Amino acid sequence: MIELLPLFMFLAVCLVILLGYPVAFSLAGTALLFAAFGTAIGHFDMAFLQALPNRLYGTMVNQTLVAIPLFILMGIMLEKSRLAEDLLNNMARLFGRLRGGLGISVVIVGTLLAASTGIVGATVVTMGLMSLPTMLKRGYNPAFAAGTICATGTLGQIIPPSIALVLLGDILSTAYAQAQLSMGIFAPKTVSVGDLFMGAVIPGLILVGAYCTYIYVYSRLRPEDAPAGDEQDKVSTSALLLSLAPPLLLIVAVLGSILSGIATPTEAAGVGAFGASVLALARRQLSLQRLQQVLEGTVEVTAMVFMILIGAAIFSLVFRGFGGEELVTSMFASIPGGALGATLVVMLTIFVLGFILDFIEITFVVVPIVGPALLAMGVDPIWLGIMIAVNLQTSFLTPPFGFALFYLRGVAPKEVLTRDIYRGVMPFIGIQLAVLLLLALWPSLVTWLPGLVH
C-alpha cells in the first residue's frame, strides 16, 4: 500500500482542484502534506525538497520560458488592436456569397488569430463576440455556428506559436534527457520548442482543411442552416489586402524566423510582441489606458503560469521522492502492447483529465510523470508532444466540461442554448479524433518537416 502513495497523491491533487482551490497552491500544498506524512512514517527523505531552490533558479534562467510572457503580450495586443474584427468583416464579404462562406471565413480568421496569439481562451472569446452575432443575424443554425466558433478557437492549442507547445517543448526536453540517461546514453539528443512548432505545422493545416471541408459539405446538405450572403456585399482587393497583410507579415516574421533557424522561439516571440505593438500604434488603437490593460493582462496570465510551474516543481520532487517514476515505469512495462499500449493508456488518461484540468496543469503535472517512461520505451518526443497537444485540443471541446464550451457560453447571446453549443461541437470532435488517429497511423505527418529542416 505504501508503494501506491504517489498514485494517491496524484488523485488527491485532482480532487483538491475539483473542489475549486487554486491549481498552483493545490499542487504545492498537497505535495507538502504528503511529504510530511511520508516523513512521519519514515517513507520520505526531506532531502528531495532541498533540490527545490535549484529547480526554481533553473526556471528563472530558462531562456525558453521567456517566450511565454512575450507571446502572451503579442496575443493580448492583437486582441486590443481590433485587427481581427476588420479581417473577419472583409473575409466574410469575400466568402459570404457562398453557402457556408461565413463559417469558412470564421475558420480562416480563427486560424490567423491562432497563429498570432496562441491562446485558446482569447481566440474563442474574441471570435464569439465578433462572429456569433453576425452568423445568427445571417440565419445560421445556432448549433452549427457555435460549434464552428468553439472548434476554430481551439486551433490556438496546436497551431504555432502555441503557448501549449512552448510549455510542452520545455517539459519534453527535460523528460527526453532523463529517458536517455536512464538508458545509459550520456550524450543525449535534444528536442526543442522549435521542433514541436515544425511538427505541428502539417497537423494544424490538416485540421483547418478538415474544418473547412466539413462546413462546405454541411452547407450543401443543409443549406437552410448556412445561407449565402448578399450578392451585393463585395470587398475591394485593396481593403482585403490591407486587412490580410498585417497578420500575415507578423506570422511570417515569427514562424518564418523559427522554422528557418534564424531565431529561437524566444527571440521570435520578442519580434512578435514588438510587431503587434507597432500594428496597434499604426492603427491608432494603443492609448495609455489600453497599454495598461495589455500589460496588466500579460502579467496576470504570466504570473498564473509560473506559479503553477513552481507548484508543479514541488509536486514532482515529492512524487519522485516516493518512488513515483519507478511505479509509473513498472506499470507501463506491465501493459500489453509495449510502447503502443502504454501510449494509448496515456492518451486516454490525458483525454479524461482534460475535462477537469487545464492544459497548463496537465503539461506540468502529467507529462513529467509519464514522459520519461514513454520516451525510454522508444516513443518519438516530437510525435508524442503533438499527439498530446491534439488530444488536449479535443478535450477542450468535449461536453460537459470542455473549456472552450465555457468560454463561448460566457459571451454567447441568450438565444444560443447550452445544448446548442454541445450539439454543434460533436462533428468537430469527430474530426479531431479522426486526425488524432491519422497521426497515430502515420507519424511521419508530424516528424517529416522537423527531419527535413534538420
For the chain, give the mean pLDDT: 81
pLDDT averaged per 10 residues in sequence order, the chain, 454 residues: 79 80 83 88 82 82 80 79 73 73 85 70 73 83 90 85 82 80 69 86 93 91 78 64 77 79 82 86 81 86 82 84 77 78 86 74 80 84 91 81 76 82 90 93 90 76
Query: What tens digit of pLDDT does each residue of 26-62 get?
Result: 888 898 999 888 888 888 888 888 888 887 888 787 7
| SS3 call for 218 | helix
So what's the pLDDT on residue 386? 93
Looking up cell 466574410 gives 92
| SS3 call for 388 | helix
Query: Which pTM value belongs to this model?
Result: 0.80
Length of the chain, please? 454
Phi and psi angles of residue 2, each rounded to the nearest 5 degrees, phi first:
-60, -35
Q: Please count the CA atoms within 13 angstroms of the CA of 354 that sit on its side-chain side.
A: 25
What are the cell numbers at 255? 514562424
Q: What is the dihedral of CA 335, 377, 440, 120, to 10 degrees?
A: 100
So what's the pLDDT on residue 117? 61
**Residues 394/430, Cβ–Cβ less than 8 Å:** no
Query: What tens digit of pLDDT does each residue of 383-420 get?
Result: 999 999 999 888 878 876 677 787 787 778 888 888 88
